[in-house]
Amino acid sequence: MIIEPTFDPEIADVLTSQTLVVEGTATDVSVTLVIGDWVNGQFTMTGNKEDGELILTYPTTSGEIETAVFQSTTQYAFNETVSEWRAALVAENELWALMPGDGSMPPGITYASGGQLSKDTVAPPYPEVTVENLSEWGWTAAITGWFTDVGGNVPATHTHSITVQLIRFGSQEAASDALDTFSQSAVNDAHREQETALIGDQSRVLATIDPLDDLAGIRNESKVYVRMYSTIVLVRGESTEGNPTPVVVELAKRMADPVYTEKQAQNTQSVIDLSAQLDDQIADMYDTAGWFNGQVEDTRLDLDNVQAEIDNMETELENVRIEAAVQPMDCWQVGTVEFAYGTLEFAKGTFDFQRELLDTTVATLEAGLDAVEQTVNATEASAKTLDESIEASTYPPPPLYALPGDELPAIATYEQATDTARLDLESQQTDYNDLMTRADEIMSESETIVEDAQALADCSD
């Protein structure tokens, strides 16, 4: 059976067996465990339990056998080990994808050997680096490739040997610390700093030969240390009589350029997206400023309509007064007064309708005003983020929809429109309150007039 490394209880049962076979056909005490894929196909691993330890082995891409001893054979521990392996194998495949081929080498230099590197093989050449350091930096995977003059035809003044090492660490910060420590160890080993342009995120070029100084008796060796995100690249070149620095620097650049071309595209797109977002926000602010102005005008028109209905009510109230003043007040005349009052009530209904329209317009405007601070803050935050992204980028900014600072006139226009809207609303609120009061007064007075008229005539029959 084939079991992926999960918390499947079936795996826990397998771990109670004396042997965990990770290759071949399952038997009563074994299991086939497929961990992942190499670039060229599937790979498997084998595990055995010995004296309470779980010993797991698997073949690497270079054909070597990697072994890991795990003290605990619990289900959680097993899954943790498999997860670590998965990460290491993925990282190793990614490193091999970065390894240059013969086509990137100088004429006559071809691949001779290479493979996976362990912490025990990487640390010893550097007195300042320990296996513990590598673990603390989050060592994930490492590989090496040696390219040399196999045929012995490269002139003594040319570079005859190039070694490329790639080491993946747990974070960019850890890789940066590792590069500093590795390269400083080379400086302490008589290598001199060479001035070159930046390669990758961080780089240092060192050599035991200075073109301006004849260092007779010292082998001509140049080293380029490059950090590409969380990966350290070491390119070391040797020449019998020549200066290998230009060769290894060019090779390091060739390795880094494709990585950063893609990164530049991502970075450029990110800046463009941020700029487009800011541009949309600026356009929205101008549009909303115009909307505020229009909404204020709408509230004025609605208020005018309410005032017009008050005027109608005033007219109808006067009609009620006129009809109530007729003497003598008989039942017929009382009916006339009541009819005039009914006409006034109809005018009051129209007034209420216009008032509700005004209330809706004002509520919509107030909701927009409530969002002003949030809108301004969001736009300012977008401008700041865009500015920081442009500042932090090592690439020239592309043509952008909007630049930091373009939001300032938009915000000024927006805030001016909102300030005007607030002042207008305050003024209109006073007029509105007066109209509401007058409407109540009209209806109260008219009701009293009708009641008085009804009292003057006995119309109960």
Cα 410 to Cα 156: distance, rounded to the nearest angstrom: 68
pLDDT digits (tens, 9 = 90+) for 67-91: 666 554 455 555 555 566 666 667 7
User: Residue 10 is which amino acid?
Assistant: E
Res. 407: pLDDT tops 90: yes
What pLDDT is stored for residue 180 in this prediction? 92
pLDDT digits (tens, 9 = 90+) for 378-391: 999 999 999 988 88
- Whether residue 111 contacts residue 145, with contact meaning beta carbons closer than 8 Å, is answered with yes
253: which residues sit within 8 A by CB, 6+ positions away? 199
186: which residues sit within 8 A by CB, 6+ positions away? 126, 206, 223, 225
Q: What is the DSSP letter of 128?
A: T
Mean pLDDT of 296-310: 94
> From the CB of residue 153, how many other CB atoms can be counted at a distance below 10 Å?
10
Percent of the chain that is helix, strand, coil (3-state, to 5): 55, 20, 25
Cα 266 to Cα 276: distance, rounded to the nearest angstrom: 15
Res. 26: pLDDT tops 70: no
Q: Percentage of the chain surpassing pLDDT 90?
A: 45
Q: Percentage of the chain surpassing pLDDT 70?
A: 75
pLDDT digits (tens, 9 = 90+) for 186-232: 777 678 888 888 888 899 998 885 544 444 444 588 999 999 889 99
**Which pLDDT band, with edges at 50, 70 and 90, does 261 fall under?**
low
Q: Can you list the alpha helix ranges (DSSP code H) found in 144-244?
A: 172-187
What pLDDT is stored for residue 207 in this prediction? 87
Q: What is the 3-state secondary structure (H, E, C) of 389-422?
A: HHHHCCCCCCCCCCCCCCHHHHHHHHHHHHHHHH
Terminal C-alpha separation, the chain: 104
What pLDDT is stored for residue 33 in this prediction? 40
What pLDDT is stored for residue 392 in this prediction? 76
What pLDDT is stored for residue 6 in this prediction? 33
Give the distance, in angstroms, between the CA of residue 215 and the centroid of all CA atoms in the same chain: 51
Q: What is the 3-state secondary structure (H, E, C) of 292-331?
A: HHHHHHHHHHHHHHHHHHHHHHHHHHHHHHHHHCCCCCCH
Cα 7 to Cα 4: distance, rounded to the nearest angstrom: 9
What pLDDT is stored for residue 17 in this prediction? 37
> From the CB of residue 46, how many other CB atoms can be counted at a distance below 10 Å?
19
What pLDDT is stored for residue 55 in this prediction? 65
Mean pLDDT of 38-42: 34
pLDDT digits (tens, 9 = 90+) for 133-150: 898 999 888 899 999 998
What pLDDT is stored for residue 31 in this prediction? 32
Mean pLDDT of 288-312: 93
What pLDDT is stored for residue 35 in this prediction? 37
Residue ranges of domains in the chain, CATH in brackets: 9-85 (no CATH), 99-243 (3.40.1000), 267-456 (1.20.58)
Contacts by 295-299, CB closer than 8 A, 24 or more apart: 295/361, 295/364, 295/365, 295/368, 295/421, 296/365, 296/420, 296/421, 296/424, 296/425, 298/361, 299/358, 299/361, 299/362, 299/365, 299/424, 299/425, 299/428
Mean pLDDT lowest for which of 53-67, 340-354, 368-382?
53-67
**Which pLDDT band, with edges at 50, 70 and 90, does 5 fall under?**
very low
pTM of the model: 0.48
pLDDT digits (tens, 9 = 90+) for 48-67: 555 556 666 666 656 666 66
For 7, half-sphere exposure in the C-beta direction (CA atoms, 13 angstrom radius) is: 1
Tokens of 384: 């700041």
Res. 333: pLDDT tops 50: yes
What pairing do the DSSP bridges indicate for beta strands 159-168 and 192-194? unpaired
What pLDDT is stored for residue 147 in this prediction? 93
More confidently predicted of 244 and 25: 244
What pLDDT is stored for residue 24 in this prediction? 30
What pLDDT is stored for residue 459 in this prediction? 77
Mean pLDDT lowest for which of 4-8, 54-58, 359-363?
4-8
SS3 47: strand
Cα–Cα distances in angstroms (integers) from residue 85 to residues 46, 59, 97, 166, in the given order: 13, 12, 18, 18
What pLDDT is stored for residue 44 in this prediction? 55
Res. 263: pLDDT tops 80: no
What pLDDT is stored for residue 256 in this prediction? 85
What pLDDT is stored for residue 22 in this prediction? 38
For all residues of the chain together, what is the average pLDDT? Answer: 80
